[in-house]
């Protein structure tokens, strides 16, 4: 027991009572004398807590990693052991309550251990077993895409509703490696009121200033949030943990409550009898916090009512740790990225074929495939921090998911494309019209202009499409990217772009997880080429180093100021980090990085320790930098880790260098991580604003599909404002045949848009993520030209369109 009241008489009274208890016990007859020893303690144990004592809501918990140092299949057994244990403890201790936070784990139990699952359902009825967390798994939230996060809520909440009759209201993510700033809005749209994690206590630079606060997302939505000050999700409910909670709690002046999740995780069985007994013993003791075993929702209701004016934290919750998880295990990350875009295509085209031709909509297949993809977004799979076995299986699963989704897409496109007579139809699943093909529509194939091609100029190569002129030198490095429309050079004077840089990457402790700031102290620039030559409409560059080989094809597509870099890597490095650098002549105050359903702005300077700690950051499909009037974007099809640095040159200009983290090679927990062949694509878009960055990001990730046929396919839905991006088009999960559309404002401004349906529209209803009517939503009037919408910056809207 830890005492923090050294001047209190209480300390001396307790020590005296313990002395009497020890005197009373006869070690030759413990059974016969224990009662006397207990009696000696009765007085001090009967003294109640102070009226002002901190209040702790304790709840049984077992943090079970859905895969990590074991494969998925082992987790089924861990879950069965844990649930067997806790339901037995519930029989013995009617006051004991336990939260279970990943719907997938209960779904496994239902399938593999129905008798244990029945016990959980029985104990849910008595209020002891508490389905919690609202998500399918506890996912990564840096890398997971926006629509995936929406479906994490849909499938998690729906499972708890259907199986347990419980509407969960918490987002429970104690162990995830950082939290994107779109989450508050997604939570609210899923009917989730509370957010809990403790992971920010792992920050290595800055101490997070609050334990209880309102978290405000990019659109302005606020969610009441709590970080248990016990700083663990595996408390043993000891006096030391209770004392630490009280001591750490940073909001003491205005609030007096915190939560402790107690119990062994990862197959350790959850809470023990001893922990439950400690919670009871610590309920009401002088000098200690009061402890009540109760559900998280009860804690949150009371915490909010005592602290309704809690401070506000705006924007992302960046974890100053585990930055390597943005890059480790590239193939797993690519599997997720591809799956997310294929799911979008499959739903869109299947819905279009269903509405236009009455084709059957693959409800079951899509439900199953979504759940498979959601499972692999677990916070040790998608971040790349599991053993090789897990990642090997994930890659096989993603290949199967891609095969099935391509099958569904193919079936729908064949139905839509109409009879072929040697003709071809081009389908565009992106939210922007492309080369004469409308968004979500199809048009007969036309001659597409060839890439600009490259010409030899002295010992350099020049690619010029009338918008952008790129010079590649004899080393295969880009020495100039001239924006012909703006009449300015994109690259900093004397610099080279697409410079591949190899860093030693030896983190202090967590190999697959961490990149340390000191990695920048050593670097090898890969400037020596094996080959630089004209090829396939562009320039091919081959480099070998160590045991590895990189082949890049640089091309300039027609009609856009963008250079595409298609990279094939045969990677056999160990403990190395491969970066691709683009030093730009731009004085950017901040970068804009795509995150789920929007983007975040991060300063380029390192004025504060908070800015300095963000030396490796996450971006989804684009990272944009700009000064007033001009900007550039790096877009990618695989990469999440980025870093941005700035320097002021002797000529007074500012160089802002953006680098993509292409590959790592950690050795723990998978000694073979990232070894072998990879292919990834990225592009530099010159003269780009945010609208260009959004569009080019989608373009790179959603290539058009050419199918034999002759039909022109009109879009099922159209939004007429460039900032309004339609993210999902599907048939309603209730199988009513209604079309569900999810869209968002993507530029960070206000948008007045008209949504037009390509079918007779009976009614429009605004819904939550689970496609349930939002009671507080205003009416949407269907006019002749469609539905008028007003969106605030980054607002997400789900609409149910009845036919
Ligand atoms: Zn975990």
- Gap from CA of 45 to ligand 1 centroid (Å): 37
Structural domain boundaries in the chain: 48-66+73-282+290-314, 325-418, 455-701, 714-803
Cα(133) to centroid(ligand 1), Å: 14
Q: How far is ligand 1, taken at its centre, from the CA of residue 202, in Å? A: 13
> What pLDDT digit, counting tens, does each position of 13-31 carry?
999 999 999 999 999 999 9
| Distance from residue 567's CA to the centre of ligand 1 (Å) | 33
Compute the distance from residue 102 Cα to the ligand 1 centre, in Å: 11
State how far the Cα of 440 lies from the Cα of 345, in Å rounded to an integer: 9
pLDDT value for 781: 74
Nearest to 575 by CA among 674, 671, 664, 678: 664
CA of 66 to the centre of ligand 1 (A): 8
Q: Scan for tokens 């683009």, then name that residue.
A: 582
Q: Just list the catalytic residues.
A: 175
How many angstroms is it from 253 CA to the middle of ligand 1? 32
Give the strand pairing for 55-60 and 290-293: parallel
pLDDT at 453: 87
Q: With H, G, I as helix, E, B as strand and everything else as coil, classify residue 713.
A: strand
Q: Using the 8-state DSSP alphabet, how is residue 515 labeled?
A: -
Distance CA 224, CA 196 (A): 9
The domain 714-803 having CATH identifier 2.60.40.2220: the answer here is yes
Measured CA distances, 270 to 139, 237, 337 (Å): 21, 12, 34
User: Which residue bears the tokens 């009449």?
Assistant: 487
At 633-655, the pLDDT tens digits run 999 999 999 999 999 999 999 99
Q: What is the pLDDT of residues 530-551, one digit of tens each?
A: 999 999 889 999 999 999 999 9
Place 1 in a pLDDT band, splitting at 50, 70 and 90.
very low
CATH topology agreement for domains 48-66+73-282+290-314 and 714-803: no
Are the C-beta atoms of 793 and 749 separated by less than 8 Å?
A: yes
User: Please, which pLDDT band fits residue 782 given cuts at 50, 70 and 90?
Assistant: confident
Tell me, in angstroms, the distance from the centre of ligand 1 to residue 67's CA. Answer: 9
How do residues 298-308 score in pLDDT, each as one tens digit?
999 999 999 99
**Which residues lie across from 45 on neighbouring strands?**
none
pLDDT averaged over the chain? 96
pLDDT of 472 higher than 90: yes
Q: What pLDDT score does 4 carry?
A: 55
291: β partners: 56
- In tens, the pLDDT along 423-467 reads 999 999 999 999 999 999 999 998 888 888 899 999 999 999 999
Kindly list the distances between the CA atom of residue 681 and the CA atoms of 250, 535, 554, 567, 684, in Å, as whole numbers in the listed order.
Answer: 45, 17, 10, 6, 11
Residues whose CB is less than 8 angstroms from the CB of residue 630 and which lie 6 or more positions away in sequence, other chains included: 483, 486, 488, 586, 687
Above pLDDT 70, what percent of the chain?
99
DSSP 202: G
Residue 680 has pLDDT above 90, yes or no: yes
176: CA distance to ligand 1 center in Å?
A: 7
- Comparing 350-359, 450-459, 674-683, 747-756, the range with the smallest average pLDDT is 450-459
pLDDT cut 90: percent of the chain above it: 96
Confidence band for 118, pLDDT divided at 50, 70 and 90: very high
Reported as a single tens digit per residue, the pLDDT across 136-153 is 999 999 999 999 999 999
Residue 448: the pLDDT is 80
CA separation for the pair 121, 539 (Å, rounded): 63
CATH of 48-66+73-282+290-314, one of 3.20.110.10, 3.30.70.980, 3.10.20.600, 3.90.1150.10: 3.20.110.10
The owner of tokens 């100021």 is: 561
Closest CA to 571 of 676, 679, 670: 676
Q: What is the 265 CA–ligand 1 centroid distance (Å)? A: 9
- Alpha carbon distance 742, 791 (integer Å): 13
Cα(first)–Cα(last) distance of the chain, in Å? 66
Mean pLDDT across the stretch 416-420? 92
| CB 139, CB 374: distance < 8 Å | yes
- Of residues 634, 653, 665, 593, the one with CA closest to residue 497: 634
Cα-to-centroid distance, 148 and ligand 1 (Å): 19
Distance from the alpha carbon of residue 406 to the mean position of ligand 1, in angstroms: 32
Homologous superfamily in CATH for domain 325-418: Glycoside hydrolase family 38, central domain (1.20.1270.50)
pLDDT greater than 80 at residue 6: no
Q: Specify the pairing of strand 641-648 against strand 630-636.
A: unpaired
Positions of E strands within 266-377: 290-293, 312-314
Q: Give the per-residue pLDDT at 2.
A: 52
* pLDDT category of residue 783 using cuts at 50, 70 and 90: confident
Which of 3.90.79.10, 3.40.605.10, 3.40.30.10, 2.70.98.30 would CATH assign to domain 455-701? Answer: 2.70.98.30
**Where is 16: in which H helix or E strand?**
helix 9-24
């Amino acid at each position: 027991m830890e005492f923090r009241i050294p001047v209190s008489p209480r300390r001396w009274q307790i020590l005296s009572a313990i002395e009497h208890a020890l005197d009373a016990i006869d070690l030759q007859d413990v059974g016969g004398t224990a009662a006397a020893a207990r009696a000696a303690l009765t007085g001090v144990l009967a003294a109640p807590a102070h009226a002002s004592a901190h209040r702790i809501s304790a709840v049984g918990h077992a943090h079970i990693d859905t895969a990590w140092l074991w494969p998925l299949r082992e987790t089924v057994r861990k879950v069965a052991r844990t649930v067997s244990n806790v339901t037995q403890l519930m029989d013995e201790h009617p006051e004991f309550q336990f939260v279970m936070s990943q719907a997938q784990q209960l779904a496994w139990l239902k399938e593999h251990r129905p008798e244990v699952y029945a016990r959980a359902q029985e104990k849910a009825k008595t209020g002891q077993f508490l389905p919690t967390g609202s998500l399918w798994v506890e996912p990564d939230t840096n890398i997971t895409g926006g629509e995936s996060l929406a479906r994490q809520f849909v499938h998690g909440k729906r499972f708890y509703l259907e199986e347990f009759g419980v509407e969960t209201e918490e987002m429970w993510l104690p162990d995830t490696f950082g939290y994107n700033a779109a989450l508050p809005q997604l939570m609210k749209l899923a009917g989730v009121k509370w957010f809990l994690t403790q992971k920010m206590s792992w920050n290595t630079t800055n101490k997070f200033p609050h334990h209880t606060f309102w978290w405000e997302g990019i659109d302005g939505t606020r969610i009441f949030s709590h970080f248990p000050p016990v700083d663990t999700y595996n408390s043993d409910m000891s006096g030391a943990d209770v004392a630490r909670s009280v001591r750490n709690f940073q909001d003491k002046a205005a609030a007096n409550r915190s939560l402790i999740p107690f119990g062994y995780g990862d197959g350790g069985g959850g809470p023990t009898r001893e922990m439950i007994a400690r919670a009871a013993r610590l309920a009401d003791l002088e000098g200690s916090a009061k402890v009540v075993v109760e559900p998280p929702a009860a804690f949150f209701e009371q915490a909010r009512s005592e602290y309704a004016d809690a401070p506000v934290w705006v924007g992302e919750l960046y974890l100053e740790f585990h930055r390597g998880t943005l890059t480790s295990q590239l193939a797993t990350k690519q599997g997720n990225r591809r799956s997310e875009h294929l799911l979008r295509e499959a739903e869109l085209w299947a819905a279009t074929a269903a509405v236009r031709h009455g084709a059957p909509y693959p409800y079951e297949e899509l439900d199953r495939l979504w759940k498979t993809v959601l499972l692999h977004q677990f916070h040790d799979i998608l971040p790349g921090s599991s053993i090789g076995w897990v990642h090997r299986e994930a890659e096989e699963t993603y290949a199967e998911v891609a095969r099935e989704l391509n099958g569904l897409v193919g079936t729908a496109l064949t139905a839509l494309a109409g009879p072929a007579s040697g003709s071809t139809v081009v389908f565009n699943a992106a939210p922007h019209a492309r080369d004469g093909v409308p968004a979500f529509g199809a048009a007969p194939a036309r001659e597409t202009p060839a890439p600009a091609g490259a010409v030899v100029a002295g010992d350099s190569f020049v690619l010029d499409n009338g918008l952008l002129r790129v010079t590649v030198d004899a080393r295969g490095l880009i020495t100039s990217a001239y924006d012909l429309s703006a009449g300015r050079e994109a690259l900093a004077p004397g610099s080279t772009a697409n410079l591949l840089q190899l860093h030693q990457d030896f983190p202090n402790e967590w190999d697959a997880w961490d990149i340390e700031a000191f990695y920048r102290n050593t670097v090898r620039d890969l400037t020596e080429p094996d080959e630089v030559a004209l090829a396939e409409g562009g320039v091919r560059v081959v480099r070998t180093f160590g045991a590895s080989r990189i082949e890049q094809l640089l091309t300039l597509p027609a009609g856009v100021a963008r250079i595409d870099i298609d990279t094939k890597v045969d990677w056999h490095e160990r403990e190395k980090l491969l970066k691709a650098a683009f030093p730009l002549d731009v004085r950017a105050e901040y970068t804009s990085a795509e995150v789920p359903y929007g983007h975040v702005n991060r300063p380029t300077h390192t004025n504060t320790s908070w800015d300095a700690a963000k030396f490796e950051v996450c971006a989804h499909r684009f990272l944009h930098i700009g000064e007033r009037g001009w900007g550039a974007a790096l877009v990618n099809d695989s990469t999440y880790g980025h870093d941005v640095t700035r320097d002021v040159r002797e000529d007074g200009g500012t160089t802002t260098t953006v680098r993509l983290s292409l590959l790592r090679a950690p050795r723990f927990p998978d000694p073979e991580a990232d070894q072998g062949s990879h292919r990834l694509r990225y592009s530099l878009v010159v003269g780009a604003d945010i609208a260009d960055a959004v569009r080019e990001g989608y373009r790179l990730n959603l290539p058009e599909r050419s199918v034999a046929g002759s039909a022109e396919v009109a879009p099922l839905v159209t939004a007429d404002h460039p900032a309004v991006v339609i993210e999902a088009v599907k048939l309603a999960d209730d199988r009513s045949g209604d079309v569900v559309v999810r869209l968002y404002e993507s530029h960070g401004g206000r948008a007045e848009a008209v949504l037009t349906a390509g079918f007779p529209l009976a009614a429009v209803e605004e819904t939550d993520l689970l496609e349930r009517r939002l009671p507080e939503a205003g009416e949407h009037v269907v006019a002749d030209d469609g539905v008028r919408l007003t969106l605030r910056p980054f607002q997400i809207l789900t609409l149910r369109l009845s036919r």
